[in-house]
Amino acid sequence: MKAVPLRLALAAAVVTLIATACTTVQSREELVPDNRWSYTIRELPGRAERLRGELSFRGRRVPLYFSEIVIADRRYTAALRTTGDGFEGYREDDDFAPPEIAPTAAALSAAERRRGWYHAELEQRRPGTPHDWVWVRRENLAAYLNPDRIQAFARHYQLAEMHEAREPRVQFMFSYGFRAR
């Protein structure tokens, strides 16, 4: 008879240890910052009062491909060297508040996960999107993107690094037809 309470006590102790261990691991995952990303502001050599903001992923500089990039709850916008405030590169937006994610029926597909991106606006993040994917925008192209696939994404869409402000692109739409007489 003494064996039954002993077994119950032992089982309760094991369950408590497992629950505590799972909670501890989960808390660590939430508390550990994503140190794969870094943001630095550098003074440009030979230029008085000129600064450059740079984003790096795993120690490699992210070229200025995007006008906006959102990493977790931080947004960085592109500033080109012709701006009058003496800043170029990526600039952190201190006033950014992540939008509410709109419910969507479409989950991330296996093909999109393999490719490493899918097209969506910031508030259209799909269920199943890995937490480390970032959101990017360049003109009318917006997507959630695996940061390991930034170069492949840029090659696929033939994105060149932005260096200077230019006149905005003008797009024309022509309609062709003929009249029957």
Instruction: Name residue 175's amino acid.
Output: S
Q: Is residue 63 part of a domain?
A: yes
Contacts made by residues 130-134, CB under 8 angstroms, sequence distance 24+: 132/34, 132/36, 134/69, 134/70, 134/71
Q: Is residue 168 part of a domain?
A: no
Q: Is residue 62 part of a domain?
A: yes
130-160 pLDDT, tens digit each = 999 999 999 899 999 999 999 999 999 999 8
d(CA 109, CA 128): 8
Q: Is residue 88 part of a domain?
A: yes
Average pLDDT for 44-69: 88
Q: Is residue 166 part of a domain?
A: no
DSSP-assigned states of every residue in 3-55? HHHHHHHHHHHHHHHHHHHHHHHHHHHHHS--TTEEEEEEEPTTSTT-EEEEE
Q: How many domains in the chain?
A: 1
Q: Is residue 126 part of a domain?
A: yes
Residue 150, SS3 per DSSP: helix
Domain membership of residue 127 as a residue range: 37-156
Q: Is residue 22 part of a domain?
A: no
What's the pLDDT score for residue 2?
57
Q: Residue 46: pLDDT band by 50, 70, 90 thresholds?
A: confident
Summary mean pLDDT of the chain: 79
Q: Residue 50: pLDDT band by 50, 70, 90 thresholds?
A: confident
The percentage of residues in the chain with a pLDDT greater than 90, rounded to a whole number, is 50
Q: Which residues pair with 51 in a beta bridge?
A: 43, 87
108-120 pLDDT, tens digit each = 999 999 999 999 9
Tokens of 115: 């490719």
Residue given tokens 């970032």 in the structure block: 134
What's the pLDDT score for residue 163?
73
Least Cα distance to 41 among 116, 91, 85, 86 occurs for 91
